Amino acid sequence: MSDTILNVPRRDFLAGLAAAGAGVFAPVAAFASTLDDSRFRVKPDEKWLDSLTGKYKQVFDMPNPTHGLGVVHIRNYLKAWKDNYNLEHPQVNAVGTLYYMTIPLGFTDPMWAKYKLGEAIKETDATTNAFAVRNIYQKADPGASTLSIKGIANWPADTSMEALQKKGTLFIMCNNALNFWAMNVASATNQTMEAVRAEFLAHLVPGVVVVPAMVMAVDQAQAKGCSYMRMA
């Protein structure tokens, strides 16, 4: 088997699954076959696009978590419009993309604990100084002024996905990337892809929208007038 999967170094992709029995990854050909399998598709739903009615709107392209840099950029974008022009949702719209290594950000705590997703994407819980076994992006701890993401700074509590959603931010998840994760987690844990995919979908962070393909969704958002900002 190749040392890369869809050009992703094996040592980097789903590394945290080693503790859960990883080491076997689906060949590219096997993944490619799912793209033609109707069981693993989602029906296009453009309601999220219809909600992009603001004069100012931007897509934040987040292929990697980078210890919170993506979500803090969304937070700062919304804050800048509010502080400087007194504009907020629905006049201002933000869209965060979940694909590649940010797919786990769209799952609730049980998936992080079961599949060691914090280790898979190299994200540390600042309260334990260990790889996160809960979604440290979803919301701040009760009463906390900062998130539990360990990175270059202590991000304010209103950087959480939950807080950003309350300010009108949309988070969209790529179905192709979801399927890729489901296939590899299934292979690593001796389950079926159907079972893991169904489990992931049952544990989506509330409000996250699964789109058929991120490459198409970004184009659709730009056709709605969104500007584009690439995150690291």
Phi, psi of 136, rounded to the nearest 5 degrees = -75, -5
Quote the pLDDT of residue 88. 98
| pTM of the complete model | 0.89
Smallest CA-to-CA distance from 172 within 205, 203, 134 is with: 205
Amino acid at 17: L
Strand pairing partners for 93? 57
Quote the pLDDT of residue 22. 40
Residue 14 pLDDT grade (very low, low, confident, very high; cuts 50, 70, 90)? low
195 three-state secondary structure: helix
- pLDDT at residue 2 tops 50: no
Quote the pLDDT of residue 194. 95
Asked if residue 64 lies in contact with residue 232, where contact means CB atoms within 8 angstroms, the answer is: yes
Cα separation of 14 and 169, whole Å?
A: 27
Cα separation of 102 and 67, whole Å?
A: 11
- pLDDT at residue 4 tops 80: no
